[in-house]
Chain A
Amino acid sequence: MGAGRLARVWAVAANTFRETVRERVLYNLVFFAVIMTLAGLLMGQLSIRQDEKIIKDIGLASMELFGTLIAIFIGVGMVAKEIERRSLHPLLAKPLSRDEFFLGKFAGLGFTLLVNVGLMSAGLALTLAGTGRRVDLHLLKAIYPIYLGLLLVVALALLFSTVTSSALAAVFTVGLVVAGRFSDVIRNMREVAPNAPSWLVGFLYYALPNFRNFDFKDRVAYGDPVPLAAMGLVTAYAAVYIGVVLLMGLAAFRSRELS
């Protein structure tokens, strides 16, 4: 990709980030702050010496939940709304290709989520420090895969956003995210239903995005080791899967009739 193309992708990404900020997406941080403050204040009294674990659990789960909601509900509008509002036409009349627009949208929302996750991580660290707990860098081994999972959700939302309306795209993306969290149940289905065709089980297992791959929350909250090799594999999985989804999205967006 040439410097000119990169600059145009960057311009769309920066604009997308500004747009999400204008849409008050980052207001979810206020909820997060309230939750973390309550967790910090109350958990020490409510739980028996488990407050540190609970604070980590709540912080990491909130990061994932809020991030997923943003990725889905902002992501599905990224292309579909631009088409529905016809605001895409003047943009594409400029020296900006569909590919650049599409990738810029992905990068922009990805950056918004990075900021969101980064600020939430800081909030979690502050809460831990405020309750007299050690700020644990090991938490990054849960936060990083959460972010990778969020990028995958954004890619899926964008793909559906290019082929259907934003409402349907939201339904499909939520469906895939939920199904992807139960990928283990699909993989081991033949243990309880031996007559299920193995090709179908295998196909579903590999075709659906496996969001369990990105879940290290419990391990990290309990201080269990998370091998770097596992992080590498999860990164590779995210890179390949996101790559495939984005390429499919690009192909669909290129052939989409806009008139």
Chain B
Amino acid sequence: MLPRLLALLLLPVIPLVQDRIDERLGSYRAQEEALYLWSGQHVRRLVPGFEGLAADVYWLRTVQYFGGQRLFAHGKRFELLLPLIEITTTLDPRLAIAYKYGATFLCERPPEGAGRCDQGIEILEKGIAALPNDWRLRQDLGFFYFVFLNDPQRAAGILMEASRLPGAAFWLKNLAAMCLAKGGHRDSSRAIWRQIYEQSEGPMRDNALQHVVVLDAYDVADALQGLVAEVERRTGRRPENLEELRAAGLIRRPPVDSSGAPFLYDRQSGTVHVSPGSKLWRPDL
């Protein structure tokens, strides 16, 4: 009876001590250990015959740390992303999702990502070398050259290569042509992000949607600027503020973007911009 009683009394102490250990050493110390490992090859040698299982574990740890079902986690240590993806894809070179996931968040600018598109491109190229017939990885490489590296020529070339692979989507050629069309950068970007949105899930899908929302906000700013020009053409003077457009019945809703931030109106020049204070503002758009 006494041992049972003592065991029952001691049991609640285990979670208390475990929480203190987690506080001190970190809940994500397994992920952080990836920095101690030299490479995926090193891990591969340690788990002969169990590479697939080990890849699954590393992949699980990657999405647990950086985000799985929800939006990609902010405030995480991005230097962990490359080793985790590198180890996962070395253990299982056919895990296509890992290349795409890693490349997306290595390319994204902080705080959403690491802002290391060179590494993201490297990961995708590694994926293409491992899966030469996977048109989606090539398509992603083309997309990333367009939206992150601003290289429409290279992007179009890669998308054309992807379109020649067996089973490739018919619209890849159209997208390649859009990339090359002058003046249509925002339209091309939107088309690309829509494709990524439709083909992705989890944080990659959320990320693509966010890009579309940003592009929409810039389109709305352009439309408002067009209305300002129209008012000036009709009345001979520029509106004092954007609310005048609403009072005149030209717009129905308040002139704010979808994050709720008011658009920035410069009466001097008659231009309308997404406010730098808005979540949707991007320095390069």
| Option from A182, A188, A218, A230 in Cβ contact (under 8 Å) with B27 | A188
Alpha-carbon separation in the docked complex, A194 to B71 (Å): 13
Contact yes or no, B3 A250, CB < 8 A: yes
Q: For chain B residues 213-240, which have a beta carbon within 8 Å of chain A?
A: none
Given A240-B10, A243-B10: A230 and B21 interface contact (C-beta under 8 Å)? yes
Q: Is B30 an interface residue (CB 8 A)?
A: yes
Query: Which 8 residue pairs across A and B have the least CB separation, nearest first?
Result: A247-B7, A192-B68, A218-B36, A188-B64, A250-B3, A191-B64, A184-B30, A206-B15
Q: Is the interface of B mostly helix, strand, loop or mixed?
A: helix
| Option from B7, B13, B24, B67 in Cβ contact (under 8 Å) with A191 | B67
Alpha-carbon separation in the docked complex, A212 to B3 (Å): 27
Contacts A/B (CB < 8 Å), 14 sampled? A50-B38, A182-B57, A184-B29, A184-B31, A184-B61, A187-B27, A191-B64, A191-B70, A192-B60, A221-B36, A222-B36, A234-B21, A250-B3, A251-B4
Report the minimum CB–CB distance from A103 to chain B (whole Å): 11
- Interface size band for B: 35 or more
Contact yes or no, B4 A247, CB < 8 A: yes
Contact yes or no, A237 B64, CB < 8 A: no
| Option from B14, B61, B63 in Cβ contact (under 8 Å) with A244 | B14
| Option from B24, B37, B67, B68 in Cβ contact (under 8 Å) with A229 | B24
Q: Is B33 an interface residue (CB 8 A)?
A: yes
- Across-interface contacts of A219 in B (CB, < 8 A): 36
The 8 A CB mask of A148-186 against B (1 = contact, 0 = none) is 000000000000000000000000000000000010110
Q: Which residue of A lies closest to B21 (CB)?
A: A233
Alpha-carbon separation in the docked complex, A188 to B63 (Å): 10
- Across-interface contacts of A50 in B (CB, < 8 A): 38
Of B11, B17, B70, which is in contact with the most chain A CB atoms at under 10 Å from its CB? B17
- Interface size band for A: 35 or more
> How many A-B contacts at CB < 8 Å in the complex?
94
Contact yes or no, B18 A230, CB < 8 A: no
Q: Is the interface of A mostly helix, strand, loop or mixed?
A: helix
Alpha-carbon separation in the docked complex, A219 to B26 (Å): 14
- Across-interface contacts of B67 in A (CB, < 8 A): 191
Q: Is A73 an interface residue (CB 8 A)?
A: no
- Across-interface contacts of B38 in A (CB, < 8 A): 50
Given A184-B27, A237-B18: A194 and B69 interface contact (C-beta under 8 Å)? yes
Q: Is A236 an interface residue (CB 8 A)?
A: yes
Q: For chain A residues 190-229, which have a beta carbon within 8 Å of chain B?
A: 191-194, 205-206, 210, 212-213, 218-219, 221-222, 227, 229
Alpha-carbon separation in the docked complex, A234 to B7 (Å): 19
Contact yes or no, A240 B28, CB < 8 A: no
Q: Is A241 an interface residue (CB 8 A)?
A: yes
- Across-interface contacts of B248 in A (CB, < 8 A): none
